[in-house]
Structure 1
Amino acid sequence: MLGAVNRVLLGFFGMLLLAAGALVLTASWPFGGRHAPLLTAEVRRRYWHAEGWWWWAVLAGLGVCVLLALWWLLAQLRRSKLAAVVVDTGDGAFALLRGRALEAAVAAEAGAVDGVAACRVALRGRKGAPTLRVALELEPYAVPGDALAALAGPVLSHARASTGLPELPVEVRIRVAAHRAQRVT
């Protein structure tokens, strides 16, 4: 949902900036023509001399807008999921474990636990310090403590053994699936 909103806002602001840029490049309305300056000398003198803070406020506002735009651009370029984990094989060699493979393995093993309706797993963090985010959706009859114990026991011990990280941090979110009663006729 957030990705769709982000794309719509990106498209809207992109079209708005494209239209504004085309307007400025063609030097049409509301400007005085192709060779006229954007701000006349009279307007510049009036604001510069009458209100000395005006231009500094304009520059500060534009600077904040540029910094926010750069921050947003860097946030778009950053990956939210970790692509791979470096695994030490113990004999001096290293291997790369794909993030999707680890996510799928943990999700499949956690999904097989009794009472778990669905499981989503995301590998986050950095290559040197990965973190697992597990979202469990439990059946209405399931006991959350039992499902969490099953996840913390064999499921996560397999994940920690396969990554070679005995202290692999895990964040678990538990949700109970809605009960759908059947109509008896």
Structure 2
Amino acid sequence: MLRIVNRVLLGLAGLVLVVIGGSVLAVGLGARPPSWWVHDGRHDVLLSEARRTRWRDEGWWWPTVIAVLAVVVLLSLWWLAAVLRRRRLAEVLVSTGDGEGALLRGRALEGVLTADAAALDGVGRAQASLTGRRDAPEARVKLMLEPHADPGEALHRLTAESLAHARDSAGLASLPAHVRLRAVKHRAERVN
């Protein structure tokens, strides 16, 4: 949902900026704007001094300007925090088989999945995180493979053993995963 809101807001802001900037550029190059447009001549300014200072002496003007700017700043900070926040799953809904459910901490399942993946042959380090919804989690797994490891075999064992074990133990119908494989880099050593 946040991704959709983010894209819509960015799209609208971009569209407004392109329309205003394009119209100012077109008028500056000599195009005739519509009669209702704010900017109507090549040497005209967007906001005249009379328009800028029209409400200055009214008692409601400055509190309104400050309130609107404060709301814009707060919404911008909320948006920035929402975009930068990592979406880790706090809990997973585990099916108990009797129509009821139990909640499992997401970090606990991540820890077990990380330990299980790190124990695979040829895996130097592993890191797992859960995203998605609590009734439909998704795993993101990063594996650092040893130089002698076969990536295809490591991926097969991860999906057939570690992810299947996590899926079955949590009673999930499926556990989609995004797996990133990397090789451990070693420095060259001289042999005498």
Alignment of 1:1-150 (within 5 A): 47-49=49-51, 67-75=75-83, 80-150=87-157
Q: 1:70 Cα shift?
A: 3.2
Q: Secondary structure at the match of 1:140?
A: coil
* Corresponding residue of 1:42: none
TM-aligned CA distance change 1:160 to 1:183, over 3 Å: same
Q: How far did residue 79 of structure 1 move? A: 5.3
TM-score (norm 1): 0.62
Residues 1:49 and 1:121: Cα distance change in structure 2 (over 3 Å): closer
Question: Would the aligned equivalents of 2:144 and 2:184 in 1 still touch at CA under 8 Å?
Answer: yes
SS of alignment partner, residue 102 of structure 2: strand
Runs of 4+ in 1 over 3 A off after TM superposition: 48-52, 62-67, 73-76, 180-183
Give CA-to-partner distance per residue, 1:16-45, whole Å, 9 cap, x none: xxxxxxxxxxxxxxxxxxxxxxxxxxxxx9
Structure 2 unaligned blocks of 5 or more: 1-46, 55-64
8 A Cα contact 2:95 2:172, kept in partner: no
Cα distance in 2 between the residues matched to 1:180 and 1:161: 40
Distance 1:49 1:80, change over 3 A: closer
1:4 maps to none
Write the distance in 2 (CA, Å) between the matches of 1:151 and 1:86.
22
C-alpha RMSD over aligned residues: 2.8
